[in-house]
Amino acid sequence: MQPKELLALAEEYGNPLFVYDASIIEQQYNRLTAAFSKVEKLRINYAMKALSNLSILKLLKKCGSGLDTVSYQEVQLGLHAGFTPDKIIFTPNGVSFEEIEEVAQLGVQINIDNLSVLEHFGAKYPAVPVCIRINPHVMAGGNQNISVGHIDSKFGISIYQIPHILRIVENTGMHINGIHMHTGSDILDIEVFLYAAEILFDAAKQFKQLDFLDFGSGFKVPYKKGDIETNIEELGKKLSKRFLAFEKDYGRSLTLAFEPGKFLVSEAGFFLAKVNVVKQTTSTVFAGIDSGFNHLIRPMFYGSQHTIENISNPKGKERFYTVVGYICETDTFANNRRIAEINEGDILCFKNAGAYCFSMASNYNSRYKPAEVLWKDGKGHLISKRETFEDLIKNQIVLEF
């Protein structure tokens, strides 16, 4: 999107503001499906925890996406957006058995990542097909080495516990219809992804009634110069070939599934905030904006570096700024970053603000969550309103003293 278009939206809807460019989401979805076009049955389940606005869900539904959900409430949102239960997969971690039961009763595919839950579920509902989440214990080590560490991850059933799984399946007569892995941010490059995939293929051979293999996500998008971007086209080529060979071996047609969040929505998002103060100190120049980790926590939470542009003065001479928020805590977005000269009142634009930004926003310091706008066909559409004072107090029961 052009700085002018973004500025006009900030003018119209106020700031801080989240803007999502629909065409980037569609483009990323199409890139992914094109990369795997050789696979007959491909299924993309958007990991909605990245950005769960109903209009975004509807947009992805129109693209042909399914949904990956992690809570009963996300399933409800998905159904509300018009997804049918068969288009939703539930991949929780550490939720109660009752929650899994409730989701299964809706007809949603469940994915179990714990032996005790698998045993309990299999004993109670042997007829309900279940996917199992495997932890392949693969991570990218230094120098692009592949290590089989990460033994302590809380996610998935260890690949070393396959014999236990098989015993549970035999004892309960349950039906395992899918095998899943999601190694998240451990996956840094294609070789590591393919290495982990081999482990999954190997595990899959032990289950005779599979309908799908789910390779999760972990696709990278660049946040700053020099960042790795998953070469999805190359991964598509290599993994498709391997998948087709596996399918032949396995003797049964399978669906290949992925569940990207970041890849689909990160780059579509722009976060716009106004500079309240420029503060010169003896060591740096602070630019203080009308936001903080209440709206965008990733820089403080993960140390992620969002590119920041001054869209009010895009051609200005670059200077060094430390961009901070207005929260009464340390909330640094960027340290000594080169940004076009900033004046009080300027609007800064944070890139890659689609994934895990609004969805992690809170009301800390009793601030309102920002509005969200979808940019589609050259026009801005409000898709969630800025909160109001009423929102802050609506659940409170006030005692008088």
Ligand X SMILES: *Cc1c(COP(=O)(O)O)cnc(C)c1O
Please tell me whether residue 179 binds ligand X under the rule CB under 6 A: no
| Residue 63 annotated as catalytic | no
Binding range to ligand X, per CB under 6 A, among 100-108, 214-222, 232-240, 343-351: 214-222
- Binding string to ligand X for residues 270 to 309, with x set by CB under 6 A, is what? ----------------------------------------
Binding range to ligand X, per CB under 6 A, among 168-176, 222-230, 259-267, 344-352: 259-267
Q: Between 22 and 50, name the residue whose CB sits nearer to ligand X.
A: 50
Closest separation between CB of residue 15 and ligand X, Å?
26
Please tell me whether residue 136 binds ligand X under the rule CB under 6 A: no
**Binders of ligand X: how many residues, by CB under 6 A?**
18
- List the one residue from 182, 295, 306, 337 that touches ligand X (CB under 6 A): 182
- List the one residue from 32, 39, 48, 50 that touches ligand X (CB under 6 A): 50
Q: CB–CB of 295/287 below 8 Å?
A: no
- Residues in region 342-381 near ligand X by CB under 6 A: 355
The token duo for 146 is 């592949």
- Binding string to ligand X for residues 305 to 344, with x set by CB under 6 A, is what? ----------------------------------------
Please tell me whether residue 216 binds ligand X under the rule CB under 6 A: yes
Please tell me whether residue 215 binds ligand X under the rule CB under 6 A: no
Q: How far apart are CA 267 and CA 350, in angstroms?
A: 10
- List the one residue from 61, 137, 262, 274 that touches ligand X (CB under 6 A): 262
Q: Between 154 and 315, name the residue whose CB sits nearer to ligand X.
A: 154
Please tell me whether residue 219 binds ligand X under the rule CB under 6 A: yes
Q: Between 122 and 156, name the residue whose CB sits nearer to ligand X.
A: 156
The alpha carbon of 128 is separated from its chain's Cα centroid by a whole number of angstroms, namely 28
Closest Cα partner for 162 from 128, 126, 133, 120? 133
The token duo for 369 is 């969550």
- Looking at 143-266, list the stretches that DSSP marks H as alpha helix, in order from N- to C-terminal side: 162-172, 190-204, 232-250, 262-265
Q: Between 15 and 230, name the residue whose CB sits nearer to ligand X.
A: 230
Q: Which helix (H) or strand (E) covers residue 55, if one does? A: helix 54-63
Is the bond preceding residue 129 a cis peptide, omega within 30 degrees?
no
Closest Cα partner for 257 from 10, 88, 395? 88
Q: How far apart are CA 369 and CA 388, in angstroms?
A: 9
Please tell me whether residue 100 binds ligand X under the rule CB under 6 A: no
Long-range contact list for 8-11, CB < 8 A, 24+ apart?
Answer: 8/380, 9/272, 9/373, 9/375, 9/380, 10/272, 10/274, 10/347
In sequence order, what are the residues at sequence separation of 6 or more whose Cβ sits closer than 8 angstroms to the Cβ of residue 321? 284, 285, 286, 287, 334, 336, 337, 339, 342
Q: DSSP letters along 1-47, please? A: --HHHHHHHHHHH-SSEEEEEHHHHHHHHHHHHHHTTT-SSEEEEEE
Q: Which of 63, 328, 349, 357 is catalytic?
A: 328
Residues near ligand X, by CB under 6 A: 47, 49-50, 68, 70, 91, 182, 184, 216-219, 259-263, 355
What are the catalytic residues? Answer: 328
